[in-house]
Structure 1
């Protein structure tokens, strides 16, 4: 992190805009995609498991920055909602892998379609700027994960 005492107003506005957009996007998305209501932790875990099928609970906890107890609570909720499955290793029953269910895949596909439509509507002719935005947000995400 920078040692400067004077915040850069543009960078402060960028951080604030990211938080505002994330909040609004999430509220519009769940309604628009017809998904079950998830806690923020459940949504984070579901996204991680979807992007990393077959991951272990330990890997999911580490990657999402969650304590094991919080991850376990989220997994119980996601399992009860029929969105995540646990699979025991055939050769070592102590090993568990996680995957999303077909129902979750359908919900995520609907969510992706909703997100794409919202972004297209919001950006209009500026949609070509999305690649640059994804690059910038990726840099921020990578930095924050390393700093955790």
Structure 2
């Protein structure tokens, strides 16, 4: 993993810190403000992260999910049991090799994903209504770079 040279470009490091803090704050506030309207049982950040990895990579194994999240296999396995019990994830054993188990989102998981992502969009739409048209344009212009950054960050470590 590449790291930022903190001795040069301190303005860049400070700007990246500000971006990271803003993203975390926006994420927390969007989740909090949008959850009540969905009627969906709140999921912890850890469970939601696992679920989103499985939704984005159907058929992934527990070990692969743990690697993508940078977490211990045993911790992911424990949280995965909760997602299976909630009917959000299914485990499918390979017919040829019973040790191999793939993880798949359920129809309920997909339904909740659509509800939550819609509620998140609504929360952002409400808040962005208070921005100027220029500010909304700046956010839209950043989307390709933010998507690329998200893809890089999602790569297994």
TM-score calculated relative to the size of structure 2: 0.79
Q: 1:115 to 1:87 in 2, by over 3 A?
A: same
For the pair 1:4 / 2:7, whether they are aligned, the reply is: yes
**Matched residues in 2 for 1:107 and 1:24: separation?**
19
For the pair 1:85 / 2:94, whether they are aligned, the reply is: no
- Residue 142 of structure 1 deviates from its aligned partner by 5.0
Q: 2:62 aligns with which of 36, 57, 79?
A: 57
- Size of the aligned set, in residue pairs, is 148
User: What SS does the corresponding residue of 2:5 show, helix, strand or coil?
Assistant: coil
Match of 1:135 in 2: 144
8 Å CA contact retained: 2:68, 2:155? no
Q: 2:40 aligns with which of 31, 35, 41?
A: 35
Q: 1:18 aligns with which of 8, 18, 23?
A: 23
8 Å CA contact retained: 1:120, 1:127? no
Q: 1:128 to 1:89 in 2, by over 3 A?
A: farther
**Matched residues in 2 for 1:6 and 1:53: separation?**
40
User: What SS does the corresponding residue of 1:66 show, helix, strand or coil?
Assistant: coil
8 Å CA contact retained: 2:54, 2:104? yes
Structure 2: segments with no counterpart, 5+ residues: none
**Matched residues in 1 for 2:118 and 2:54: separation?**
19
Q: 1:135 to 1:2 in 2, by over 3 A?
A: farther
Q: 1:4 to 1:141 in 2, by over 3 A?
A: farther
TM-score calculated relative to the size of structure 1: 0.83
Show CA shifts across 1:47-106 (max 9, x none). Answer: 010111111111111111111011011101111111111011111111100011111111
Structure 1: segments with no counterpart, 5+ residues: none
What is the aligned-residue RMSD (CA, Å)? 2.4
Q: 1:57 to 1:147 in 2, by over 3 A?
A: closer
- Residue 35 of structure 1 deviates from its aligned partner by 1.6
